[in-house]
Structure 1
Amino acid sequence: MRLWDVGQSQCTKSLAGYGNWFRSLAWSPDGKTIAIGALDLTVQIWDASTDRCVKILEGHHAWVWAIAWSPDGQILASASNDETIRLWDASNGECLKSCRDTTTISGL
């Protein structure tokens, strides 16, 4: 995965350790962390300064289509092709709540 500075038209960072396909990505409000909705059914939290995966959140049973942070960065929401939205505690990776719908949820 490569991160680009659009204004400078240059790649500023490459997360070499990330080799999987992903569907969604969201920066934390403080800009220090990246959450990835991966096609391996996980949500991954990466430290942007060290380029390391610090947490893998498991619980979805299909691709993760969308990711969003709460404004304070404490909660991470993920939406999946398994017809659920999950709310996660970003600090410890615990699933706080799972809400089911009757169709694929592709945005938050």
Structure 2
Amino acid sequence: MYRLSDYDYPLPKELIAQEPLSAREKARLLVLNRRTGEIIHTEFFQIINYLIPNDVLVINDTRVIPARLIGKKETGGRVEILLLSTDPNKIRDKVLTAEALLRASRAPKVG
């Protein structure tokens, strides 16, 4: 049985894309040769060279939204808000409610 910790690995922040490439086919592709264990770094447009008949290619078509808001408090402290989800059905009085993570130089006061 797999444990969640089996999937834990260091990932430097500078390697996490903040926006998509303008030339999507130039996105990086990591390929593992299961017979030899060789790891190949290439570009996505090369994927056709690694697929064989009866392979299944699962496409994740989710999109990243510009959900990171950076601001400054009256005291000068930095605030970062990461929107996680919104529900358009929960709009009341022209206010949209969203789940979010908040990071601030100090814990914000309620209100």
With the shorter chain as reference, the TM-score category is under 0.3
- TM-score scaled to structure 2, two decimals? 0.23
- TM-score scaled to structure 1, two decimals? 0.24
Q: Which has the larger radius of gyration?
A: 2
Q: Which has the higher strand share?
A: 1
